Amino acid sequence: MRHEHCKTLFSYWNTLRGERAAPERTEIEPVEIRHILGDTFILEISAQLRTISFRLAGTRLCGAYGRELKGLGFLAIWREEDNFEIAKAIARVYRNFEPALINYGAHAGEGHVTEFEMLMLPLAPAPDGNSRILGVAAPRSTPYWLGAQPVQVNHLYSIRYPKPTRADPPAVKSVAKSGDKAALTPVELAPPLAVDTGYQSGRRVAHLTVLDGGRD
Share of the chain above pLDDT 70, in %: 76
- The residue that leads in pLDDT, 106 or 167, is 106
Please write the tens of the pLDDT for every residue from 111-156.
Answer: 999 999 999 999 999 888 899 999 999 999 999 999 999 999 999 9
Mean predicted confidence (pLDDT) in 198-204:
38
pLDDT higher than threshold 80 for residue 55: yes
List the chain domain ranges. Answer: 4-210
pLDDT tier, 165 (very low <50, low <70, confident <90, very high otherwise): confident
Amino acid at site 202: G
206: pLDDT strictly greater than 70: no
Q: Is the pLDDT of residue 41 over 80?
A: yes
Phi, psi of 118 (to 5 degrees): -125, 135
Class of domain 4-210: alpha beta
Q: Average pLDDT in the 8-18 region? A: 95
Residues 68-121: tens digit of each pLDDT: 999 999 999 999 999 999 999 999 999 999 999 999 999 998 899 999 999 999
Query: What mean pLDDT, rounded, does the chain reach?
Result: 81
Determine the average pLDDT of the residues in 21-34. 94
